[in-house]
Copies of this chain bind each other. A is one copy, B any other.
């Protein structure tokens, strides 16, 4: 790994305000990395509403199992996240490690073990020595502070080249609320490397079931619409916590996701999720270019998304982007292999604002020079119109470079 920051990194980081009701601390427990923080603890001083979405892998990590089991409880008091070891495919030892970590955190915070949420990211298959947490969680719970978001984002990095933070404000019934989020990862994607973890906290007062509905809907056009390399982590975890501190300002608790008072909050949440998801893609391993693929005219939105992901996951499309080659033939290929209804003779394809193909042929007005200028950009928009219906979707990806091969050919050792 070069250690250099992705050329697609944001030019500035958001200034992260504290969110009432949550405190954070980080520690260097030496799990894998030396001389850097590798544990994050979030502490909620009162039980808060919690929602979560997790990897669809059939071989999830022990922490994912732990979180899923606890979610029915609906309340949280603490979150413990470590980088350096994913605690995945670790069998009985893995379950013992989550149990010990939950027990230590519960003792440190003074809550039930079912109010503790866990996430781990790093190498798969190595037993995680949870005793390394035991000594630090007590101190972390005491020292935790509200103004610590940027440090929190840094502690959960693995091969990330920059910390990912975002903040939004919204109003519920006229009362201002804040939403803060952090994320790590270089894809949806990529055990060992780029497990996607994200933790979002708001001071809004929203019931767990409504929070879950908001999160489940919000993840589809955001985190579930980004891809780096099509691989799915054993550990992907996105959690949303609502501390309810805004109740002190008179915000009446929201019980249902259908509540009209949520309009501003929903928009702000979705915008924040998109912000974090795109930051993840922009840190894609070896990425030099960011690509937004918009598919219109498909039979349905779901069909449009599958076609979009077929394009965004195609190694041939991604290597062409890396080579600044406006190879729209490969877009045709990726549309064709998506398995969704398509009519070759109705397809139209744009790179940026240059239409390169129309009615199943190369656009007669197509200019190689104009298209090459588009491909030389850092951010490239690809649009495909299928010409069959109203379905549309946008997905985001990065290019596939030699650096990706280098990073991933030489990680474990």
**Residues 322-351 of chain A, each 1 if its beta carbon lies under 8 Å from chain B, else 0:** 110101111011111111111011010000
In the complex, what distance in Å separates the CA atom of A273 from the CA atom of B186?
A: 40
Q: A406 and B413: CB pair below 8 A?
A: no
Chain B residues near A401: list those with CB within 8 A: 405
Q: A332 and B400: CB pair below 8 A?
A: no
Q: A125 and B329: CB pair below 8 A?
A: yes
Interface range on chain A (Cβ under 8 Å from partner):
35 or more
CB distance from A234 to the nearest CB of B (A): 6
Report A376-409 residues with CB < 8 Å from chain B CB.
Answer: 400-402, 404-406, 408-409
A400 in contact with B411 given A60-B344, A315-B230 (CB within 8 Å): no
CB distance from A377 to the nearest CB of B (A): 16
In the complex, what distance in Å separates the CA atom of A338 from the CA atom of B231?
A: 10
List 19 extra interface pairs beyond A89-B360, A230-B313, CB under 8 A: A57-B336, A58-B336, A58-B338, A59-B344, A91-B361, A124-B332, A125-B362, A127-B362, A191-B329, A191-B332, A231-B315, A231-B334, A234-B333, A320-B408, A320-B412, A323-B408, A323-B410, A323-B413, A325-B413
When C-beta atoms are compared, the residue in chain B nearest to A368 turns out to be B413
Q: A316 and B91: CB pair below 8 A?
A: no
Chain B residues near A229: list those with CB within 8 A: 315-316
Report A79-121 residues with CB < 8 Å from chain B CB.
Answer: 86, 88-93
When C-beta atoms are compared, the residue in chain B nearest to A317 turns out to be B231
Give 5 A-B contacts (CB < 8 Å), ordered by A residue. Answer: A59-B333, A89-B361, A229-B316, A232-B336, A402-B405
In the complex, what distance in Å separates the CA atom of A217 from the CA atom of B339?
A: 22
A251 at the interface (CB under 8 A from B): no
CB distance from A31 to the nearest CB of B (A): 16
Chain B residues near A58: list those with CB within 8 A: 335-342, 344
Chain B residues near A344: list those with CB within 8 A: 58-60, 89
Chain B residues near A345: list those with CB within 8 A: 91
When C-beta atoms are compared, the residue in chain B nearest to A359 turns out to be B91
A279 at the interface (CB under 8 A from B): no
Q: B405 and A233: CB pair below 8 A?
A: no
Report A37-77 residues with CB < 8 Å from chain B CB.
Answer: 55-60
In the complex, what distance in Å separates the CA atom of A374 from the CA atom of B385?
A: 47
* B231, B232, B234, B333: the one within 8 Å of A191 (CB): B333
A256 at the interface (CB under 8 A from B): no
Q: B192 and A316: CB pair below 8 A?
A: yes
CB distance from A358 to the nearest CB of B (A): 9
**Residues 169-197 of chain A, each 1 if its beta carbon lies under 8 Å from chain B, else 0:** 00000000000000000000011110000
Chain B residues near A123: list those with CB within 8 A: 329
* B59, B193, B335: the one within 8 Å of A332 (CB): B59
- Residue in A327, A328, A340, A357 whose Cβ sees the most chain B Cβ within 10 Å: A327
